[in-house]
Structure 1
Amino acid sequence: MKKFVALLCALCVAGTLSAQEKHILGVRAGMNVSNMTFKQDGLSVSPSSRVSFQAGVSYQYNFLESMPFYLETGLYLSLKGAEQKVERTTTTIRMTYLEVPIMVNYHWNISDKISIIPAAGFYYSLGLGGTSENKTGNTSVEADTFGTDSDIKRSEFGMRFGASVEFLENFYAGLGYDVGLNNISKDADVKARNGSFFILVGYNFKF
């Protein structure tokens, strides 16, 4: 057991020996697989997921010079929503958010060219726009998802978990999951929350 702990400590120390950049600016783009959960009177409904898009920029700051811990934030355009089909009617909810994550990550440098980066934290989203569509056959009725007559709130926040790989020094690939924490329904009898799995690729600029 002592040998295992010593080996683990040695690996962690080895992962911090490489010089750490103070600032990392990244560009990101990828795929969202989003869904919503609705609860009312003890019943829970989860519509089908929607595949959509996410893109933005990230910024990482090395706040602990002795170890590769980074504070990570950024600004993203993130498309979320859900889809539900009941008999001949399909309801599609589309939401476009401006999203800001606030996380802490750790750069584990397993070689000169590859780093594994686990991350965890929170995010805040502001709804910019979207449509809610009810389609029956060839008849379609649309409304503003965040309009005055809508039951969906613009503001959303939650927890974010993820892991990524930085390879060939500057290239990036990562995945994660957003868990919505606040109720985004305006209806007092309904609780609605977002959830989203995402995959991102990108490039980092270090200075």
Structure 2
Amino acid sequence: MKNFTTTLVLVFFVSAGAFAQGVSGGVKAGLNLANQTFSGNGFTSSPSFLPGFHAGAYLTAMFSDHIGLQPELLYSGQGAKSGNEKYKLTYIAIPVLLRYNVNSVFSFHAGPQIGVLASAKYKVGSASVDYKDNFKSTDVSLAAGVGIDLPMKLNFNFRFIKGLSDINSTDDSDVKVKNYTLQLSVGYKLFGK
């Protein structure tokens, strides 16, 4: 799965660059406010947002003045907390977003995101247990947001990411668990217009 994902990302980056009018790229990092929804027969839970971070790289391939694609490769912290209990999940996230530039400053972006689970920990107070076997190895999500590009190569993005797939891999449970995340990023363009 990881080799397939790596190959797919490389092919996409190369083909997007070959057909694009303008290609730019850079690095980004920022705050995640992550949470999870739980649904099942009579199951109720009200977890709260778990702060985390994300960091990685992006490529923007514009096909016209307004339309382009923005694939990214991010290390992203997700999960949820309830009282002193925390579920801390980390993913290698690969969003592939359709980008619409309103003008040279403002943009909208939306598209699918695939997350490959890197780690999962269950924490109570200072105690921590590896919990990776309780979650599926991939998470399929939809992402949508807005961006601001400043002339000094800085950019800011606000994004909402909604998990579509049930990430609970526990066989004896009918509880469905889905991620969702609010993401605020600061980026720096390393090359391109």
Q: Given the alignment of the two structures, is residue 134 of structure 1 paired with residue 124 of structure 2, yes or no?
A: yes
Q: Given the alignment of the two structures, is residue 158 of structure 1 paired with residue 141 of structure 2, yes or no?
A: yes
Task: Report the equivalent of 2:131.
Answer: 145
Distance in 2, matches of 1:42 and 1:121, equals 33
Gaps of 5+ in 2: 1-19
| Superposition deviation, residue 200 in structure 1 | 0.2
Report SS of the residue matched to 2:105. strand
**Letter of the 2:132 counterpart:** F
Distance in 2, matches of 1:198 and 1:182, equals 19
| CA displacement 1:59-78 (0-9 Å, x = unmatched) | 11123x3x321111010000
| CA displacement 1:1-46 (0-9 Å, x = unmatched) | xxxxxxxxxxxxxxxxxxx961010210100000011112044423
Task: Report the equivalent of 1:39.
Answer: 39
Distance in 1, matches of 2:147 and 2:32, equals 16
Gaps of 5+ in 1: 1-19
Q: Given the alignment of the two structures, is residue 180 of structure 1 paired with residue 163 of structure 2, yes or no?
A: yes
How many pairs align? 171
Over aligned residue pairs, what C-alpha RMSD do you find? 1.8
Greater C-alpha Rg: 1
- What percent of counterpart residues are identical? 25
Distance in 1, matches of 2:150 and 2:185, equals 14
Q: Which has the higher helix share?
A: 2
Q: Given the alignment of the two structures, is residue 77 of structure 1 paired with residue 75 of structure 2, yes or no?
A: yes
Report SS of the residue matched to 1:38. strand
Report SS of the residue matched to 2:37. strand
Q: 8 Å contact 2:43–2:175 — kept in the other structure? A: no
Task: Report the equivalent of 1:167.
Answer: 150
**Letter of the 2:113 counterpart:** Y
Alignment match of 1:93 (pick from 87, 96, 117): 87
**Could you state the TM-score of these two structures normalised by the residue count of structure 1?**
0.77
**Could you state the TM-score of these two structures normalised by the residue count of structure 2?**
0.82
Point out the more displaced range, 119-128 or 40-49: 40-49
Task: Spell out structure 1 runs of 4+ moving beyond 4 A.
Answer: none
The 3 A distance-change label for structure 1 pair 40 and 191 is same
| Superposition deviation, residue 142 in structure 1 | 2.6
**Letter of the 2:67 counterpart:** F
